[in-house]
Amino acid sequence: MINELPSSDSALMSAYMACAGSQELPKVLALDEHQILLDTMDAMFSGRFQFKGVTTHLEFMYALEMFQPDVIVMDVTVQGRDGISFVEKLRASRKNLRVIFLSQHDDPRCVAMASEVGAMAYLTKRRHGDELIRTIEAVLNGEHLLEPKNFNTRSYRSRGLTPRQVEVLRLIARGMSAKQMAQELRISVRTAEFHRLAIMQRLDLHSTAEMTRYAISEGLV
């Protein structure tokens, strides 16, 4: 439940009401922390979809209620939060939510986890814009472009690791310090250290050497 509106709420309300008055185009809501990507989507979707892009989870939850999107496009991680777990919680009460993950992560395990929580498609940000448009159109037509049976989902999700923690584990195995990981992932050193501790606890590992051996055995490096 959202108890307060994002900043400039009157302007946002006007925008949502304007969109609500136009029913001929499908509605796409995107959550991504990079405003330049949202601006690019806005221009690219002109004439095809009604589009609303937001950069925070608070704005997203508000838009989800007010904008009533037909399709959601979001990253696997936004502002350090695990987008896959976020979608899993959303779909617990919104079974018909149609989600496309658009992410820099191209690890097949991330794709598998996205499939497990009910996402209908997964694209990397290296793809061309027209492929994203075609994917949205396919999802609007009810096509599931991800099928759980196509992926090996045995490992990380069953062990409780998030996509961000998988990425941290990979960097640890490459010999990076907490400071280097923080710079690489654009997170704080404290957050990097928190992820490291969480990985050790969840995988029952007790040293950097054990984490490195585990990552190598799982093909992360």
Q: What is the CATH number of the domain that holds 211?
A: 1.10.10.10
Q: Which of 87, 78, 165 is nearest to 121 (CA)?
A: 87
Based on the number of CB atoms within 10 Å of its own CB, is 115 exposed (0-12), middle (13-18) or buried (19 or more)? buried
Range of the domain at 87: 9-150
Assess contact for 85 and 162: CB atoms under 8 A.
yes
Statement to judge: residues 188 and 173 lie in one domain:
yes
Count of domains forming the chain: 2
> Which tokens belong to 77?
């991680």
Residue whose structure tokens are 């995107």: 30
pTM of the model: 0.62
pLDDT for the residue 101: 94
Answer yes or no: is 67 within a domain: yes
Per-residue pLDDT of the chain (221 residues; tens, 9 = 90+): 444 445 545 555 555 555 554 558 999 999 999 999 999 999 999 999 999 999 999 999 999 999 999 999 999 888 778 888 889 889 888 889 999 999 887 777 778 888 888 899 999 888 889 999 999 999 999 988 875 444 444 445 446 677 778 888 889 988 999 999 888 887 888 888 888 888 898 888 989 998 998 888 877 76
* Residue 3 within any structural domain of the chain: no
Q: What does the pLDDT read at residue 149?
A: 43
pLDDT tens by residue, 133-145: 999 999 999 988 8
Residue tagged 């008055």 (tokens) = 21
pLDDT of residue 17: 53
